[in-house]
Amino acid sequence: MSDPDMFEDDLDLGLDLDLDTEEAPAESTFVPLSDPDVTLAELEAVDAVMRSPRISSGSVVEAFEAAFAEYVGRKYAVAVPSGTVGLVLTLTAYGIGPGDEVIATPYSFRELAHAISIVGARPVFCDIDYWAGTMVPEKAEARITERTKAILACNNNGHPAAWGPLRELAKKHNLVLLEDSSEAIGSKYKDQIVGSFGDTSVFDFSQPSPLTCGEGGMVVTDDIDVVVALRRHRFHRLEERASVVVSMSPAYHATMSDLTAALGLAQLKRIEEILERRRLTEQLYFMHISSFEGIKDPYIGPDVTEVNWFLYLVHLGTRFSKSSRDAIVEDLFVEKVEAAAYCQPLHLQRHYFDLGYRRGDYLVTEKVADRAVALPFHSHLTDDQIEFIVATMKDASINVGAGAAIY
Q: Enumerate the domain spans of the chain.
A: 14-35+271-399, 40-269
Q: Can you give the pLDDT at residue 20?
A: 41
Q: Can you give the pLDDT at residue 61?
A: 97
- CATH architecture of the domain with range 40-269: 3-Layer(aba) Sandwich (3.40)
Q: Can you give the pLDDT at residue 145?
A: 98
Task: Tell me the C-alpha distance between 247 and 230, whole Å.
Answer: 14
Please write down the HEC assignment for all residues of the chain.
CCCHHHCCCCCCCCCCCCCCCCCCCCCCCCECCCCCCCCHHHHHHHHHHHCCCCCCCCHHHHHHHHHHHHHHCCCEEEEECCHHHHHHHHHHHCCCCCCCEEEECCCCCCCCCHHHHHCCCEEEECCECCCCCCECHHHHHCCCCCCEEEEEEECHHHCCCCHHHHHHHHHHHCCEEEEECCCCCCCEECCEECCCCCCEEEEECCCCCCCCCCCCEEEEECCHHHHHHHHHHHCCCHHHCCCCCHHHCCCCCCCCCHHHHHHHHHHHHCHHHHHHHHHHHHHHHHHHHCCCCCEECCCCCCCEEECCCCCEEEEECCCCCHHHHHHHHHHHHHCCECCEECCCCHHHCHHHHHCCCCCCCCHHHHHHHCCEEEECCCCCCCHHHHHHHHHHHHHHHHHCCCCCCCC
Q: Can you give the pLDDT at residue 394?
A: 87
Domain 14-35+271-399 sits in CATH at 3.90.1150.10
pLDDT one digit per residue (tens) for the chain, 407 residues: 444 444 344 434 333 434 343 344 444 589 999 999 999 999 999 999 999 999 998 999 999 999 999 999 999 999 999 999 999 999 999 999 999 999 999 999 999 999 999 999 999 999 999 999 999 999 999 999 999 999 999 999 999 999 999 999 999 999 999 999 999 999 999 999 999 999 999 999 999 999 999 999 999 999 999 999 999 999 766 655 555 555 567 788 899 999 999 999 999 999 999 999 999 999 999 999 887 766 667 889 999 999 999 999 988 888 889 999 999 999 999 999 999 999 999 999 999 999 999 999 999 999 999 999 999 999 999 999 999 999 999 888 888 865 444 33
Cis peptide before 208 (omega within 30 of 0): yes
Q: Do β-strands 176-180 and 148-154 pair in parallel, antiparallel, or remain unpaired?
A: parallel
Q: Which amino acid is at 107?
A: Y
Judge whether 136 and 163 are in contact, CB under 8 Å: no
Q: Can you give the pLDDT at residue 320?
A: 87
The answer to whether 14-35+271-399 and 40-269 have equal CATH topology is: no
CA angle 120, 122, 128 (to 5 degrees): 140
Please state whether the predicted TM-score (pTM) of the whole model is above 0.75.
yes
